[in-house]
Structure 1
Amino acid sequence: MAAVVSERLVLLLLAVASLSLLAPPAAAQTPWQVCGNSGNYTANSTYQRNLARLAAALPRNASASPALFAKGSVGSVPEIAYALALCRGDGANATACSACVATAFQDAQQLCAFGMDATVYYDACYLRFSNRNFLDDTTSNDNELILMNAQNVSSPVEAFDAAVRVLLNATGDYAAANSTRLFATGEEAFDAANPTIYGLAQCTPDMSPADCRSCLGDSFGLIPQYLSGRRGGRVLGVRCNFRYEVYPFFTGGPSLRLPAPSSPPPALPPAPVNVTPAATPPGRSKNKTGIAVAIALPIVAAVLAISTVCFCFLWRRRRPAEEQAPSYSTNAGDIESIDSLLLDISTLRSATDNFAESNRLGEGGFGAVYKGVLPDGQEIAVKRLSQSSGQGIQELKNELVLVAKLQHKNLVRLVGVCLQEHEKLLVYEYMPNRSIDTILFDPEKSKELDWGKRVKIINGVARGLQYLQEDSQLKIIHRDLKASNVLLDFDYTPKISDFGLARLFGGDQSREVTNRVVGTYGYMAPEYAMRGHYSIKSDVFSFGVLILEILTGRRSSGSFNIEQSVDLLSLVWEHWTMGTIVEIMDPSLRGKAPAEQMLKCVHIGLLCVQDNPVDRPMMSTVNVMLSSGTVSLQAPLKPVFFIPKSGYYSTVYSESYPTGSQSTGNVVSGAMSPNEVSITELEPR
């Protein structure tokens, strides 16, 4: 697997080194590829012959189409092959389109050798083929790549990002209204540093205008997280794509031109009030005017005062409804409504011996945790938020509100809270065996966890998650499920803890998007780590990783051996496909645990970490699979492999290569225009 990673990194560098100001012909351009997880075919197989038939037909069909688009399938299940090809719509001729698609078939089969699912992108065209029918789903923009310019704009980022959004939204609207190619280009005047911003948007022509605009809108939504302030960037997907730059990159004139964004006009002084007095008899005008002013001013003042009071009253009444987040609430009333949980600071100081270092249990995300004993003899764990942690107060309120409303044997029980003397303290029941990670990853302590205890932990966490997601009145997404957040009581009953990052969903809500991705890499689902999309299936992914950690005794992140895989998921997958999964089980389990049950648990773990959230089971289904010996399990799909960088998983990153720089090793050297995008983010989302 290390060789595969090295090859992938080489390809990343090649993709950057091959760029120039004007895109080279497809045959000379190194493509960006996404290799799917649908398995492999063998040489001279029926599937390979079906691909060959598609490779002969699609280039011709795409070039003959007014939309420069073609799709089709050849063969029958299970050897059927589906394919889709699209050429860029800015004046590409039939010959160039045909050549690009033909080259794409060749490169895809080389870059994703014997892979049944492959996608390659060029500037001029792209291609995807698969053994799974993706052609009928025009709403899923699969195999997306995020590509970014390594340089930031010198203009104010907010103004530049706003201008990009205006341009791309207008270009997307224009593309969706184009019935032939669903393609548009545009330009927008900006400022002296970046006189013009250029944009492009395109969808596959078999999409409806509404689906096209929705697809582009989802892709535009990635800009704040990944492309904010960048001089250029693009998102490539099988169904839609866009690109923007501060230099012209498309051929022909733009479909639309936008003027420079208008700035708000300067505030003007209030205009004088011109009052034309009615004709009055001589000698009485001053007296009449004085009386009128004396009467009018109090009336005007009273009206203004009443209006201001009414406005403030209405605004205060409306504000809670507007500010109520769709995911959870942390209003002060939530805290005040649980007075029975309030504890006095003096009680907690006495219980913990004034937070003595000898009572310190560990360090959490926002502060330390201390052991204590209440006057009635109850042992407690006190989570003390750091005084300097301004960010943590929101997480503490969130955790308090959520945990106080949840009651389950596999969720840690909240004993009380204290918000006195600038202290922010949460008090939980004490877990004598602490968290799983303190035992599981210690070669000696891990021997305490025999097969029975590990099964008990897996089943308990699964039941706790099902309660959070499906059985409680609230629907909770934990977002940071990991070994250190699962505590063990005296008989190793697991309890899920640390709800500081959790989110509350409405009854019919299934997914949410955030611009602030928080949690722990290695446990994060790919759609959350790369797009900010989280759902109950995000926690299912984390649970799958946790199962594999419990079975193998290995952490989910970090390298094990340069000759082996780079992370736990790839290591388990390799042994699973080779039929040697028992070899990577925790040494303390080998020969002491039923092999059939271990295989079953590994199987369930792999089902939970599948790339597509739709393929992952619900936690209620997981519990049925764990408890039943007769339920048949479907074959898992290959999980996503992340490439760790400096000890952490890296999902989006950018590198700059100076013009004319020479690459080393197996990388072909090449010159780049300083204006072109330096692109290295090639991980599918």
Structure 2
Amino acid sequence: MGIRFGYFVLLLIFTCFFTFSSAIDIINANESLANSEALISNGNRFKLGFFSRSNSSRRYLGIMYNLPVMTVVWVANRNKPLNDSSGTFQISSDGNLVILDGRKEIVWSTNLSSSVANLSAVLLDTGNLVLQDNSNGEYVWESFRHASDSFLPTMRLFVDVNRNEKNVLMSWTSPDDPAPGRFAMKIMPDLEGTYILKDGNIPYWYSGPWNGQTFIRLPGMRALYNDGTTVGSGSPGTAYYMFNVPNSSVLQYYVLTSSGVVEEREWSYEKKAWDVTSTRNECDIYGKCGSFGSCDARETPICTCFRGFSPKAEDEWDAGNWTSGCTRETPLKCEHNTSLGKEDEFLKMAGVGLPDHYILFPVDKDCRGACLGDCSCIAYADVTGIGCMHWSHNLTDVVKFASGGEDLYVRLPYPQLHKKHDRRAIIATTVVMGSILIGLCTYFARKKLSNYRARKNKKGLIFSQRKESELEELPVVRFEMLSNATEKFDRTKMLGEGGFGPVYKGKLPNGQEIAVKRQARSSNQGAEEFMNEVVVISKLQHRNLVKLIGCCVEHDEKMLVYEYMPNGSLDAFLFGSHKREFHNWQMRKSIVAGICRGLLYLHRDSRLKIIHRDLKASNILLDEELNPKISDFGMARIFDGKADQANTTRVVGTYGYMSPEYAHRGMFSEKSDIYSFGVLLLEILSGKKNSSFCDEDQQFLTAYAWKLWNEGKITNLMDPSLYDSASAIEDDIVRYANVGLLCVQEIAADRPNTSTVLSMLSCEIVELPRPKQPAFVGIQSSQSTELSSNDVTISILGGR
């Protein structure tokens, strides 16, 4: 039967007319939950109901936060979704919770073997769904002991070897598919640590053991522990891990994502969105540097062999594949079973994350002496709260921390720690080699200077207008290296092509992936744009600006080398091949905020004031986590001193994004970038391109948005491909459209500055002004104009 439907309707009526409400949080034995109904926990924090993802017809029963943003934290039928909306949830006659399809066949069950007569299912305000024995109040079954991908306050991850029981996190297959994915997170018995495992049993991440206050490879966790984290082991072969949030108004949980990353999420009431924290770097991947290799994410390359060890496979190591690890260069003395030579000693490696597969020595023994007396002991560590740890197998997954960590002592032969050299021989050799090197350097310097002067005379445009001090700061990459990295600029490596020329994907010898922008001979952008981009971006550092790795000016070539962005540019997600992956409004909000922060850095927070002059969707690149990075600074201008605007007779930019004062009079300032940002914001809202928009008599997206605003229908601007319901994000749509229209107002002085835009988007400014009519800008000039159909940058030519 339907779940107390009349009572549910009465509750909704009371909610409309009174200031209190009573949530339905229980199902009794004679009741069921239909597809369109939901349980709401007593404190209104969680709800249980059927849901679908990404416009799919597949239906799942899940527990969600009761928020405007769908946030699923537990799924019942992960492996067997319903194919229509005819499913029901109820307590079966044998005392199990079950999901039935339209034919009344069981899709999912709690699979309890014993039957209890008087049962009810209750959704608690912790997010725990419990099957309760009403005769004594005990829980017969609870969802907290059968976790999905989310770790909620008061939930326990546990293992009990004796009872063969465990509670682990299992990732989703993808952000839109709740089926069990590739990654599982589980705690090990006897507090030996926590692993994320890939594909069943392959270690992907390791926390280290518990020392009473933290997992030792997570030194930053100490504050969390003092604020509600509990880890314990009741008996040998058991362990559990849980956390609590002391402030009941804070919504916080952890999720194991489909890419194997644990994210901390905290609800922002102000932004009406989740603030997400994830600190993963390359060294977090288990065994990144193989056995006897140390990983340091701050260094390039990130992997080095321990002292006294060398790479097993030199070619792989040089190519940036370090998983084969390192091997000992000199055998240990104890392995020779000889009395000759001095005893082995220990190399101290300070502040590292210790490897797994350790053994504990008895606490009453001297740690160093115990290891030295056992030839199978190749390393030891004496850790407060754990004791004397030693290793007898390969040391894998050693990580160097910036702060914190433990001291690892690695066994080495005595000569490798105490190499003595003849100082006189060293001095003599140094003098001779130094003389030879000075002679060689002088010869090659003269030869290089001669070649440089010849190139300078031939291509004086490149450097003639740049200061020598600027050129000295430029990172230079050899043509041969870039040719090898891109397989001689093979067309299969081409990522795309813009106004400057084609862009290729490459891989440096250290394994770093790069994007190489190579100037085409037919390009209208010349030496000035090239040098402008190198000089500007090499002086800037921000997470929302693309990172320049180097440049190349060699063999009549001009190339720029950037960090590789695996997700390409924003326009592919908005208008192109990846649009089907861009249906989440929260993702778009995050991208808008990142672009605005990058722009704020250019305009206000960097040591230089930069006007980009070509901000558009194709110049926003997305990293592997879809973080936006502003790119292409060939048209950027630096403002000296206190200047805040300038003008030029050489107008550069892209059709549809240029402000009216810039397109028609050559005046540019922070406000001209704001205009471009406003157009981009409206494109992100609508999924439509401003320059190719056509609706009845409206030629531009900005004009269409203005029309909807005046008609009170601005929510119609929302991209229909977004799976968020219009009602759930209506406030956001109105606010973001309002900000976008404020940014594209015709008069530059009316537009907000960048910091104000950021405050408006984050709701720090609650009441927004009403926008004035935007400028509907076309290129109407008597000057010559060049424009390509692929939306590349244009230049209106003239003297400068």
Which has the bigger relative contact order, CA under 8 A and spacing at least 6? 1
Q: TM range, normalised to the smaller chain?
A: 0.3 to 0.5
TM-score by length of 1: 0.45
TM-score by length of 2: 0.39
